[in-house]
Amino acid sequence: MGIGSITLGALSLLCALGGVVLSMVPFLGAMLAFLSPVLALMGIILGGVALSRARAEGNSEGLAITGLVTSIVAFVPSLLVALTCGLCSSCWTGLVLNPPDAGPPGAIFPDAGLTPYPYPSSVPASSPPAVPPPGTWAPGAPPPAAPPPPAAPAAGLPASPEPNSVPSPAPAPAPGGLPPPPLPPGPNVRPAP
């Protein structure tokens, strides 16, 4: 049983490694990642039984303790792999099985909130979350404002090019339209004090 425990611990480590490396392979990555902690737990059970029998019969406990330690050491990374790469790989397998329609990024989260936000919020539910810069939002303050929407196309310019038209590299600004925003300073330009 001690040898079985050592073998299972080593196999668990190998499966965890395979689960990490092959997590983008559908089915195989998820299978390896989820099999790894199961093997480690089986190794722990075998090691515990071997330790119990060795103590009861007065035999040497070395093999049993080695198997137990190997399996416990294998269990930690294997559970990490299962709960990270395994979940990711199962999501990937699901996407391969059922390619989703083009939707908002939030649609991949099945456990989105039940309650609509009761406070004035400018973050639409279907858009990716706006990341406020550190220090700009304090608890108790209203949520940060979303960036302004892109400017509407100037009058006289089509919103999208016609199907058979030749696209121009840079359309000239319409009279009365806003000038283009200034480019950000380069790395060697020092801002004025």
Residues within the interface to another protein (CB under 8 A): 17, 20-21, 23, 37-38, 41-42, 44-56, 64, 68, 76, 79-80, 82-87, 90-91, 93-95, 97-98, 105-106, 109-115, 117-119, 121, 123-125, 128-132, 137, 139-140, 142-143
Work out how close the CB of 151 gets to another protein at its nearest, in angstroms, rounded to a whole number: 25
- Cα distances (angstroms) measured from residue 146 to each of 36, 95, 160: 44, 31, 25
Tokens of 108: 């991949």
Determine contact, residues 74/43, Cβ cutoff 8 Å.
Answer: yes
Which CB atom, from 7 or from 177, has the smaller least distance to another protein?
A: 7
Round to whole Å and give the CA distance between 155 and 178.
11
- Write the DSSP symbol of residue 61: -
Which CB atom, from 122 or from 173, has the smaller least distance to another protein?
A: 122
Work out how close the CB of 60 gets to another protein at its nearest, in angstroms, rounded to a whole number: 14
Which CB atom, from 52 or from 154, has the smaller least distance to another protein?
A: 52
Which CB atom, from 76 or from 157, has the smaller least distance to another protein?
A: 76
Which CB atom, from 102 or from 170, has the smaller least distance to another protein?
A: 102
Instruction: Specify the DSSP element, H or E, that contains 90.
Output: helix 87-97
Determine contact, residues 18/38, Cβ cutoff 8 Å.
Answer: no
Work out how close the CB of 167 gets to another protein at its nearest, in angstroms, rounded to a whole number: 32
Sign of the CA dihedral with 37 first, then 41, 46, and 47 last:
positive
Work out how close the CB of 147 gets to another protein at its nearest, in angstroms, rounded to a whole number: 14
Determine contact, residues 5/72, Cβ cutoff 8 Å.
Answer: no
Work out how close the CB of 186 gets to another protein at its nearest, in angstroms, rounded to a whole number: 30
Which CB atom, from 133 or from 186, has the smaller least distance to another protein?
A: 133
Residue 43: burial class (beta carbons within 10 Å; 0-12, 13-18, 19+): buried
Work out how close the CB of 52 gets to another protein at its nearest, in angstroms, rounded to a whole number: 3
